[in-house]
Amino acid sequence: KKVEYVKLPHQHYDVWQRIRSQLSITVPDNEEVAKWRDYYLSHPNFMVTISRRAEPFLYYIVEEIEKRGMPVELALLPIAVG
């Protein structure tokens, strides 16, 4: 039996790609932002760990944020304040 695959329009297979494609909030260029940007860039394993921990929940959270018409950046708040 042959299986047919149907490609859905605008379907994102990678939740991080989906988030990146919807980023809309302008990030200010100030010392505090620079400090955290430098931290995340110098600790890449931190983001790997966070990504793995978020994986079971992130897709659902992004779906719910989209349903409500809210900025997708809200899905990243636990990383920012954690």
Tens digit of pLDDT for each residue in 30-45?
A: 999 999 899 989 999 9
Residue 13's pLDDT band, with cuts at 50, 70 and 90, is low
Q: Please answer whether residues 62 and 16 qualify as being in contact, where contact means their C-beta atoms are separated by less than 8 angstroms.
A: no
Instruction: Choose between 4 and 79: higher pLDDT.
Output: 79
The boundaries of the domain holding residue 64 are: 15-81
pLDDT band at 5 (very low <50, low <70, confident <90, very high): low
> Is residue 6 domain-resident?
no
Number of domains in the chain: 1
pTM of the model: 0.70
The reply to whether 3 falls in a domain is no
| Mean pLDDT of the chain, nearest integer | 85
Look-up: residue for tokens 């809309």? 24
- Assess if residue 60 is contained within a domain: yes
In the block, tokens 């989209």 appear at 66
